[in-house]
Amino acid sequence: RETLAAIEALVRQQNAGDCVLFGEYDGNEIISFDDQVGAHGSAGGDQVRPFILAPQELRLEDAVLQNARDIHSAVMLRYAENG
């Protein structure tokens, strides 16, 4: 479900291409549309789980963080509250 939601959010963005292609990692090399030696990000696994290392003053321990947008919203809200 996380992967499907991430892909759906990606393709619904206004600036998403008419055709969205995903490569694959076969355990040895990255298979991609263009010739790459490395890559980051993915549709699934640990890379879709949000992570932030932030000052304790931001009080993010109770924030519901399910994706990168949630992190951005929570951080911006805390900064707005603290002026």
- Which has more confidence, 57 or 74? 74
- Residue of 45, 23, 26, 44 whose CA lies nearest to 34: 23
Distance, in Å, from the CA atom of 55 to the CA atom of 18, rounded to the nearest integer, reads: 40
Q: What share of the chain in percent tops pLDDT 70?
A: 80
Give the pLDDT of residue 75. 92
- Band (pLDDT 50/70/90 cuts) for residue 14 is very high
Answer yes or no: pTM beyond 0.85.
no
- Band (pLDDT 50/70/90 cuts) for residue 48 is low
